[in-house]
Amino acid sequence: MTSFLWGAATSGHQIEGNNVHNDWWQWEAQGFVEGGVRSGIATDHWKRFREDLKLASDLGLNSYRFSIEWSRIEPKEGTWNREALDWYRELINECEKQKLLPMATLHHFTIPQWFSETGGFAAHDAKDKFTRFVKHIAGHLGSRIPLWCTLNEPMVYVVGAYLGKFLPPGRFLPKRASAACRNLLKAHVSAYEMIHRQISKREGPWKNRPLEVGIAHNLLDFHPDRPWHPIEAWTARIFHRFFNLSWLDALAGRKQHFGVLGIIPYPKQVKEAIGRVTADFIGVNYYTKAYVQWHPLAKTENSPSEIPLGLTFCRRKEPASDLGWAIHPKGLAKMIRVASAYKLPLYITENGIADRKDHMRKDFLKKHLFELAKLIHEGIDIRGYYYWSLLDNFEWIKGFWPRFGLYAVEYQSLDRTVRKSALYYKQIIEAHRQNNLSLPPQLACFKKIF
């Protein structure tokens, strides 16, 4: 039996620092982040990665999910940066030294500026450009990486970039949203094939582990804000189908429904994805629920003014994170059941909470991991859990103030300090391992801790 993977997740732009060649660096310069904040050196992970991976190991983690920043590898189209490639090679070396199985993500929201200027994933040739990058990475680093996410949260990316205005280019462009959905799927299928074809010889401590390629897919538990409201009830179902199910159906080779009647045009079907499974696992990113509102009173980045719809992530008096996201562990179980219906192995590739004072994270971990334990006990094939995030980091449009990290980062000195909740996570991991992954004792060990 393969050991259960206990990990933490990060992404390049959020922690490395000085990713000057991507679209986010330019977007920040234009003032689109709250308070005009810039990512700058972020957490300085580029220089401190050995220290950070040692911190991960100190918590008893046995896996680490990171992203490979495309704009570092290919800062100009067709120009490859050997220094950056060597850095990622050293990152993998350090993972091996710390016994952290690497899970690499190839697209985590950022794209090279040159790619953005030619239309990004909304452009007709996006698949070819992304595949060229994937081929380069697979050829130079792939033999030592057993787990791959081609895309992180592709639906969040599309919604944020072309509907909700919280990711660059931040414009309401439904036709481009439609094109991006189609092109992202084409890019994923091509990358899936490329990785399996390119990586024939395996090396390193995980060379005998099966090579697995999937995506990390954000799942939201949608509810009508007013259950009696017929439009909100209907829209919640539509959002669930578009946001949650469309990518799962596409990965499973089913009919693709990357559109919403009257809002987002339905693109042509991606023929190379029809009738075949193009994922070896599904990565589930889960944080919270979402209430669908018709004619919302307040406009936010989640309620574009062009349509009378909005989302809110918490009701009054519901327990919530610093970001105002409801703490809803039952939703994790619900979304895992949705994903498990596709009969693929599952990894929880992100789950975490913004909690600066560290008052809620222990209880958040306890309740979400208990839901996870029950599902494993039922026989659902869940192979790993990655907390978001290892470190406090640059949280996109919100800047640095949301604090998700198992380790707190003091941004003046860049010192890292372990949070008490992280030590609780370590306790869970140790108790789990003492029970040797036998499922009934595993559940018992969670009950004992909780």
Distance CA 18, CA 378 (A): 45
What local confidence, expressed as pLDDT, does residue 415 receive?
A: 98
Identify the bridge partners of residue 177 per DSSP, sorted by sequence position.
none
User: For residue 371, is it within any domain?
Assistant: yes
- Give 392's Cβ-side CA count (13 Å radius): 22
Return contacts of 202-205, CB within 8 angstroms, 24+ apart: 202/143, 202/144, 202/146, 203/143, 203/144, 204/92, 204/96, 204/143, 204/144, 205/96, 205/99
Question: Is 73 in contact with 31 (CB distance < 8 Å)?
Answer: no
**What does the pLDDT look like over 373-425, one tens digit per residue?**
999 999 999 999 999 999 999 999 999 999 999 999 999 999 999 999 999 99
> Which class for 356: exposed (0-12), middle (13-18), buried (19 or more C-beta within 10 A)?
middle
13 falls within a domain: yes
Give the integer Cα–Cα distance in Å for 416 and 408: 6
Tokens matching residue 426: 């370590």
Indicate the helix (H) or strand (E) that contains 150.
strand 147-152
**Is there a domain that residue 428 lies in?**
no
Pair of tokens at residue 297: 């009173």
Is residue 435 in some structural domain? no
Catalytic entry in 74, 350, 371, 395: 350
Extract the tokens encoding 154: 């592709």
Can you point out the beta strands (E) in 51-163? 63-67, 101-105, 147-152
Q: Is the peptide bond before 440 cis (omega within 30 degrees of 0)?
A: no
Distance CA 232, CA 252 (A): 29
Mapping DSSP to helix (H, G, I), strand (E, B) and coil, where does residue 148 land? strand
Structure-block tokens of residue 367: 């309740």
- Provide the number of structural domains found in the chain: 1
Please state, in angstroms and rounded to a whole number, the distance separating the CA atoms of residues 360 and 136.
42
Cα 365 to Cα 369: distance, rounded to the nearest angstrom = 6
In a domain, 123, yes or no: yes
* CATH number, domain with residue 130: 3.20.20.80
Query: pLDDT of 10-62, one tens digit each?
Result: 999 999 999 999 999 999 999 999 999 999 999 999 999 999 999 999 999 99
Q: Find out whether 178 and 259 touch, Cβ atoms under 8 Å.
A: yes
CB-count burial class (<10 Å; 0-12, 13-18, 19+) for 358: middle
Q: Could you tell me how far CA 380 lies from the centroid of its own chain?
A: 21
SS3 for 387? strand
158 in any annotated domain: yes
Exposed, middle or buried by CB within 10 Å (0-12, 13-18, 19+), for 297?
exposed
> Does residue 201 lie in a domain region?
yes
pLDDT tens readout for residues 330-351? 999 999 999 999 999 999 999 9
Q: What is the pLDDT of residue 450?
A: 46
| Cβ contacts of 38 within 8 Å, gap of 6 or more | 28, 29
350 catalytic residue (yes or no): yes
Distances (CA, A) of 326 to 162, 238, 278, 286, 395: 25, 21, 33, 12, 18
Tell me how far the alpha carbon of residue 279 is from its chain's centroid: 16
Domain that holds residue 187: 5-419
Look at the block and give the residue holding tokens 């016994």: 99
CA–CA separation, 269 and 323 (whole Å): 37
Judge whether 434 lies within some domain: no
What radius of gyration do the chain's Cα atoms show?
21
Which residues in the chain show pLDDT less than 70? 1-2, 296-306, 436-450
What's the CA gap between 249 and 360, in Å, rounded? 35
